[in-house]
Amino acid sequence: MSWFPAPAIARRRTFGWVDLLVLLAVLLLLLGVVRLGSGMAAPLRTASHISLSPWSLPLYAGESLLRIVIAFVFSLVFAVAYGYAAAKTNLGRRLLVPLLDILQSVPVLGFLSATVAFFAGLFPGSTAGLEMASVFAIFTAQAWNMAFSFYHSEMTLPRDLQEASTVYRLGRWQRLWYLELPSSAISLILNSMMSFGGSWFFLAASENVTYAGRSYLLPGVGSYMAVAEQRGDAGAMVAAVLVMILLIVLVDQIFWRPVIAWSQRFKMEQTRAADEPTSFVLMILQRSMLVEMLERRVLRPTLEGALRALSRPPRPAQVRRLGRGALGSAGGLLAVALLAWAAFSGAHLLHGIGGAQVLHVLWLGILTLLRVAAAVLLGALWTVPVGVYIGLSPRVSGWAQPVAQIAASFPANMLFPVVVALLLRMDTGLDIGAIPLMMLGTQWYILFNVMAGTMAIPSDLKEAARVFGVRGGLRWRQLILPAIFPSLVTGGVTAAGGAWNASIVAEVVGWGGHLLVAQGVGAYITLATAHGHFGDILLGIAVMSVLVVAMNRLVWRPLYRLAETKYHLD
């Protein structure tokens, strides 16, 4: 099976202008990566020199994009591995899923404060350590949403396909490659697009690294916008947003739109839709002789050889039991050691914090929880109908997807002057005003998951609904809502995590000498990070984690169980 099958109108692939275009694109890509990557190992003293000249923006945007791409590669591998492990065992569902919910809710600043010293210590005197810390922070803004998506796809695999894989005796790796990854392709790609676009939202936080009592700004569009905000330079902020929008559109047309069009081959349906997404870049890849030769002579043989090597006959049952026992014991000892180290470190950091402060932070956490719930519900009111409308029309999705990516990537601090001006004019605080800012990190997860669920509805089901005259509210109740319900639950889970994460920028807003602070655990963590109070940071994250686990058990786990048992295609 070819990854890039030639169009039906094409005859024989021969070397031509298409291949020259592919070679030129690969050469430019390599040169760009080498040029941008060379600055990631500069001396530490060169950090924080951010120029607000518009001519510096293309280079800064390229460096930010490189960090996002590196983080995305690691996020994709993590999402598949973690989602697979969480779905295959009862222990994984009971332990790994709540843990994932906690991890996606921990703010970027919480990861930065905990990891920057480790990465910086690996490369003393160089920005490489700070670059790794920044990439890791971007990773934490991407990976959890994608892992939830793959986990959801694993849990809702059609039973007939699972039985077929058993009948044909597919090994674990063959089943993953030929069944599970294709089945999850549309959802994983749409959520990857959301995670990739959402990375721009947290660039200002991830490119501002504090190490050894000093703040370092890494060259990038996020740090450019942070400096422009500090100086009140609205023109520089607008220029940064315009460059960012241009880059998002280019990435969408060059990468995401071809991937979306390519993923339609994995749609589970008996009849193909008459109107499917198209892509000029995908057409070039399908017509390229070089791409076809690379696939036929390198990629496909390598993959098939790897699958054969990984799908060897199973070892005797006794050997497997011994291996699992040894692996389980080693994993248990490692977990105990990590928990002991975390408990010791946490006790040291929390020393001196009294019960009154804990109750106060718990109250702040409940206030933020109420804002999270409001942001998720308000976001769902418009994203569900809009996501269904986009997902049902490939023609609309062609222009709506990049628009949605731009909106999802739009940095909240660009709205800070407007929000501060309105709140000061109304003589009110940020306690209510934080909700719409929090929605900027919330509603897009629901939108992209609803789009993915709608795009995955088989064309034969939509055609049957049309033939039998199922329209209006009946169509929503009998076809659309049941079909998108699993994706909607996944969107709700990741949206809640995004809202918790966005609380660090939504509950503390400053502009032009005015600072508005909402009562909430997000503001508590932000202020503690600014003052270097690691004990308070840990307390805030611990309270946030407790509330997230409670919501997982009381709300999300029952909804996931309903999605897995009732609302998925068989």
**What is the DSSP secondary-structure string of 68-133?**
HHHHHHHHHHHHHHHHHHHHH-HHIIIIIHHHHHHHHHS-HHHHHHHHHHHHHHHSTTBTHHHHHH
Q: Which residue type is seen at 220?
A: G
DSSP, collapsed to helix, strand or coil, labels residue 21 as: helix
- Using the structure block, give the residue that is written with the tokens 């909430």: 520
Predicted confidence at residue 47, as pLDDT, reads 54
End-to-end Cα, the chain, rounded Å:
25
DSSP string, 470-539: --HHHHIIIIIHHHHHHHHHHHHHHHHHHHHHHHHHHSEEEETTEEEE-SSHHHHHHHHHHHT-HHHHHH
Q: Are strands 508-511 and 514-517 parallel, antiparallel or unpaired?
A: antiparallel
Q: Which residues of the chain have pLDDT under 50?
A: 8-11, 319-320
pLDDT of the residue at 9? 45
Segment 382-438, tens digit of pLDDT: 999 998 888 888 777 777 777 777 777 666 556 666 666 776 677 666 788 788 878
Residue 71: name the closest of 181, 217, 291, 220 by CA.
Answer: 220
Predicted local distance difference test score (pLDDT) of residue 373: 92
Question: For the residues of 22-67, what is the DSSP string, one character each?
Answer: HHHHHHHHHHHHHHHHGGGG-BGGGTT-----GGGHHHHHHHHHHH
pLDDT of residue 406: 72
- Residues 207, 225: contact at Cβ < 8 Å? no
The rounded distance, in Å, linking the Cα atoms of 363 and 90 is 33
β-bridge mates for residue 211, sequence order: 214
CA distance 286 to 13: 9
Instruction: For residue 311, give the H/E element and its range.
Output: none
Distance between CA atoms of residues 57 and 39, nearest Å:
15
Q: What are phi and psi of 151, to 5 degrees?
A: -60, -45
> Which pLDDT belongs to residue 138?
85
Q: In CATH, what is the architecture of 17-267+277-306+351-565? A: Orthogonal Bundle (1.10)
CA distance 377 to 371: 10
Of residues 531, 511, 456, 515, the one with CA closest to residue 488? 456
Residues 136 and 110: beta-carbon distance below 8 Å: no
Residue with tokens 């597919």: 170
- Of the candidates 88, 92, 137, the one whose C-alpha atom is nearest the C-alpha of residue 111 is 137
Beta bridge partners of 510: 515
What is the DSSP code string of 260-281?
Answer: HHHHGGG---SS--SS----HH
CB atoms within 10 A of CB 379: 26
Give the pLDDT score at 10: 47
Domain boundaries defined on the chain:
17-267+277-306+351-565
Residue 516, beta-bridge partner list: 509
> Residue 541: which of 504, 569, 488 has the closest Cα?
504
Q: What CA–CA distance (Å, rounded) separates 6 from 21?
A: 17
Asked if 368 and 500 count as a contact pair (C-beta separation under 8 A), the reply is yes
What CA–CA distance (Å, rounded) separates 547 from 358? Answer: 13
Q: CA 227 to CA 235: how far, in whole Å?
A: 12
How many CB atoms within 10 Å of residue 45?
A: 10
Residue 270 pLDDT: 58
Distance CA 193, CA 93 (A): 25
CA separation for the pair 370, 389 (Å, rounded): 29
Residue 252 burial (C-beta neighbours within 10 Å; 0-12, 13-18, 19+): buried
Q: Which residues contact 123 (CB under 8 A, 6 or more apart)?
A: 41, 129, 132
3-state secondary structure of 210: strand
